[in-house]
Structure 1
Amino acid sequence: MKTQLPIHGDDEHVVVKFRPRTSAHPPGRRDEPAATHTQPAARPPAQLAPTNAPPAAKDLSRFERPRDEPDDFRQRMLANVAALAFTVALTVIGIWLAISIADLRKTQDCVLMGRRDCARISVMPHS
């Protein structure tokens, strides 16, 4: 059986330069005209992409929403505290329910075995 190796062309591999976001408005936003952006410095000829290469990946600026108002830290913290309290309450209720079901199962197993001393009788101390 012959093994076929893939044919690699030079136009398949493109290196895209990573540019971190350092400003509030990344380049290429739709609400800004393209002419206002500064052009990057010219690269040496060895780093230029081939002319038939696919365009560079689009940035995620089209998914960003402009903030109309500043972030309300107090409201966000109150929401976090409320969510934590709700989660703790659900956990406590779940543990209580699991213990109650286990206790009920134990009592039911005792009754089904035919024993008569299954019910708990609390004895009040005489004063």
Structure 2
Amino acid sequence: MKTQRPITSEVSEEEHRVLQFRPRTPPPGRPGKLGHPGPQHDAGEEPNDLSRYERVRERPDDFRHRMLANIAAFAFTVALMAVGLWLAKNIADLRKTQDCVLMGRRDCARISTPYF
């Protein structure tokens, strides 16, 4: 049995170098590291929070309309799931019937019996 040895090649020292990590410096005129408030934070500067992204709404939320839209979306999702399950069941039944016919059997048709 032949043993496998790793392929060795002569690697020069230039291929394997350790790069020095240099931390980023903040842009000129900005306090702190990368825009984060730090020890150099001015007292007059606005804090970094999400309040500056808030917008004033022209009209208040319509809670009733939002709830009706949520109910309609939920009903649509439930209906879509029901149709998907029904379709999967019918495809499985058709596959069973097709497999039965392809095996050459003659009793493949499903006979429905009334429930009394």
**TM > 0.5 fold call:** yes
Residue-by-residue CA offset, 1:28-70 (whole Å, 9 max, x unaligned): xxxxxxxxxxxxxxxxxxx326xxxxxx98x784x64430000
Which runs of no fewer than 5 residues in structure 2 stay unpaired? 1-12, 27-31, 42-46
Return the alpha-carbon distance in structure 2 between the equivalents of residues 8 and 80 of structure 1: 48
Write the distance in 1 (CA, Å) between the matches of 2:83 and 2:72. 16
CA–CA distance in structure 1, aligned partners of residues 58 and 87 of structure 2: 46
d(CA) in 2 for partners of 1:84 and 1:16? 42
Partner Cα distance (1:82, 1:65) in 2: 28
What is the distance in 2 between the residues matched to 1:4 and 1:119? 74
Structure 2 CA distance for partners of 1:114 and 1:73, relative to 1, 3 Å: same
In the other structure, the counterpart of 1:16 is 36
Cα distance in 2 for partners of 1:72, 1:101 equals 43
- 1:1-127 mapped onto 2 (5 Å cutoff): 1=13, 3-8=18-23, 11-12=25-26, 14=33, 16-17=36-37, 47-48=39-40, 61=52, 64-124=54-114
Aligned-partner residue type, residue 78 of structure 1: L
- Root-mean-square deviation (CA), in Å? 3.3
Following the alignment from structure 1 to structure 2, what is the Cα–Cα distance between the partners of residues 79 and 120?
Answer: 43
Query: TM-score under structure 2 normalisation?
Result: 0.60
How many residues were matched structurally? 90
Greater RCO (CA < 8 Å, at least 6 residues apart): 1
Q: Unaligned regions of 5+ residues in structure 1, if any?
A: 19-46, 50-55
